[in-house]
Structure 1
Amino acid sequence: MSADFWAGYISGAAGILIGNPLDLLKVRLQAGTPSLTSTPTSYTSQFSSAGSLIRGATAPILGYGALNALLFVTYNRTSTLLNSSTKGAPPNLWTTWLAGAIGGLATWVVSTPTELVKCRAQISSSPTAASSWGITKEILRSKGIRGLYFGGVVTALRDSIGYGFYFWSYELSTRLMMSRMRERGSDTKEAAKVLLCGGFAGVVTWASIFPLDVIKTRVQTQILADSASSPLLGAAVVAEGAERRRLGAVEVARNAYRSEGPGVFFRGLTVCSIRAFIVNAAQWAVYEWIMNELDPGRKIRG
């Protein structure tokens, strides 16, 4: 397979391992976990054992590696196609955003089931019920393959917009940093440039789509009509007396706004931004390093 496939796969898996503890906090804040308040004690209480640090990580490690591989392969191919008429020149920032958005949309087939299983594992209050494989089997048993793609529309929208800004901000920050260094007549360490630009790209990406991610999390973790597991978001069911059903993204967003105000769509953003900087700095560093190892003729971006 191509160098960017393996670079994307390995960097994606590495990012999950690094960022899973903070991702667990983000998901629980977004879903409105009652026991989680904004105090240090309540944050640390979420990690009662070593196993809790990697809760919900199995699905993302397997799925996100494939997702990241698909993302980078699609982005690189699309970017090359869109900029075929300007060979030798830096890619246009608009086509960079568009190529990223197309790459993000292509990941939908992997990201939706991965996010669904991950979020439910992280929200579960029962350690024995938090197995990614156990949750997957339960969904397949009760809902079939379609059950793994619940929340797919809002996930696709989130990924398309988010990854558009992801590659756009990385490209923009790389150019600005290199331009500033040339003006000062100094040379910058390549590793430092990649880490800073990668971290910045991660923060910009999540800031641009965080409300959509909150809605996605709540859509995917709401109570199931025929599930034997404990309710995750009891407020997401319809009025008493009616048949229980899962709500769509618009209904979930409307209910969240009415009950918790506009601030609910930014709950967990601080934790997410810290995680995004660390994870994406590491991901881009791993990606660029592997690309240079597998394709020695290629120069690091910038």
Structure 2
Amino acid sequence: MAADFWAGYLSGAIGIIIGNPLDMIKVRLQASNINAANVTTASGLRGQFESAGSLVRGATAPILGYGALNALLFVAYNRTLLYLSPSTVDPTNPIGVPLTQIWLAGAVGGLASWTISSPTELVKCRVQLNTHEPVSSWAIAKDILRARGLKGFYFGGLVTSIRDSVGYGFYFWSYELSKRFMDSRNASPQQEAAKILLCGGIAGVVTWASVFPLDVIKTRLQAQPFPDSSLRPERGPLLASTTRSQTAATGRLLNSMEVVKQAYRSEGLSIFYRGLGVCSLRAFIVNAVQWATYEWVIRLLEQPRDLPRIIEKI
């Protein structure tokens, strides 16, 4: 367990450090009426982000939480795959295992990781969307715990669990499918590294494309201001376009279906795909690095196990 746990933890933390600025842009595109085309210009970026420091806002919770999330994801995936296919010698290289079993193992891993991803995503989104007055991840977490208890960290949890389960099913499925298409048994170390980077990037893009509408719903659901919050920025709109019409008219937090109806009525079907381009760019870069880190750490940590076999051959 130690190898895949630490490989997953380190790769997850590195992925967040690399991808947080683009994730910040994605979340703000999802939660507001910002035009995606405007964000691609220098003036558009300056207009939507208060300072250069705001691009790393909300990174604390994911760095701490996503490392653990990724560790749990890979451990659950590997154990589930071994259960579904006991003949598998190496779950990190499941040659011959049906892709349906790989998808199912990934879905189970995603569902297991939801226990960490739901509170992490809630805190991250609320920190990233506070445009009027910066609030730390720790302050947001304490406020949620005081006002709503532990249950409050799982606000929007159902949508998040479906997103994680479906998304991570496609994550491992697309990674393994890409590796099989690019079979390179006689490849050089450089070619093997390039293959891992490319397959990891493809897996990231496929994953987010499969669940992006669910992620938009999750973001808009979690962007609603909590009326019982003691933090002044939290009591006001996190982003005006998302929350003004949602909570002002009803005086309560909307559920997932109400968020979907409100978003569709006000902005049409395109709202459920806003930010997909930025997200795809981030997903390719982050997941290419994550998979490369994971594979490298796994091999590094498992070398001691291979020493007796290497010595015997010598």
The Cα shift of 1:238 comes to: 5.8
Q: State the partner residue of 1:67.
A: 69
The Cα shift of 1:32 comes to: 0.8
Choose which of 110, 115, 126 in structure 1 pairs with 2:116.
Answer: 110
Q: State the partner residue of 1:23.
A: 23
Tell me, yes or no, if structure 1 residue 136 matches structure 2 residue 146: no
Kindly provide the CA deviation profile for residues 17-41 of structure 1, in whole angstroms up to 9, marking residues without a partner as x: 0000000000000001559744512
For 1:10 and 1:126, how far apart are their aligned partners in 2? 33
**One-letter identity of the residue aligned with 1:91:** V
Q: State the partner residue of 2:7.
A: 7
**One-letter identity of the residue aligned with 1:235:** S
Q: State the partner residue of 2:151.
A: 146
| Structure 1 residue matching 2:6: 3-state secondary structure | helix
Tell me, yes or no, if structure 1 residue 278 matches structure 2 residue 285: yes
My pick for the range that moved more, 39-48 or 206-215, is 39-48
Calculate the aligned-residue CA RMSD, in Å: 2.0
For 1:171 and 1:127, how far apart are their aligned partners in 2? 44
Task: Say if 1:46 and 1:52, in contact at 8 Å, map to a contact too.
Answer: no
The Cα shift of 1:127 comes to: 4.3
In the TM superposition, 1:40-55 aligns within 5 A as 40=41, 41-55=43-57
In the TM superposition, 1:72-91 aligns within 5 A as 72-85=74-87, 90-91=96-97
The Cα shift of 1:126 comes to: 3.1
Structure 1 runs, 4 residues or longer, greater than 4 Å off? 33-36, 44-48, 85-89, 185-188
Q: State the partner residue of 1:202.
A: 204
| Structure 2 residue matching 1:84: 3-state secondary structure | coil
Task: Say if 1:35 and 1:42, in contact at 8 Å, map to a contact too.
Answer: no
Tell me, yes or no, if structure 1 residue 236 matches structure 2 residue 246: yes
For 2:6 and 2:116, how far apart are their aligned partners in 1? 16
* Structure 1 unaligned spans of 5+: none
The Cα shift of 1:250 comes to: 1.0
* Structure 2 unaligned spans of 5+: 307-314
Kindly provide the CA deviation profile for residues 36-79 of structure 1, in whole angstroms up to 9, marking residues without a partner as x: 74451212444553422310000000000000000000000000
**One-letter identity of the residue aligned with 2:84:** L
The Cα shift of 1:119 comes to: 0.4
**One-letter identity of the residue aligned with 1:257:** Y
Kindly provide the CA deviation profile for residues 80-130 of structure 1, in whole angstroms up to 9, marking residues without a partner as x: 11011566852110000000000000011100000000001110013432x
| Structure 2 residue matching 1:148: 3-state secondary structure | helix
Task: Say if 2:82 and 2:88, in contact at 8 Å, map to a contact too.
Answer: no
The Cα shift of 1:186 comes to: 6.2
My pick for the range that moved more, 43-52 or 22-31, is 43-52
Q: State the partner residue of 1:92.
A: 98
Q: State the partner residue of 1:119.
A: 125
Tell me, yes or no, if structure 1 residue 294 matches structure 2 residue 296: no
The Cα shift of 1:161 comes to: 0.2
Percent identity reads 61
Tell me, yes or no, if structure 1 residue 219 matches structure 2 residue 221: yes
TM-score when normalising by structure 1? 0.90
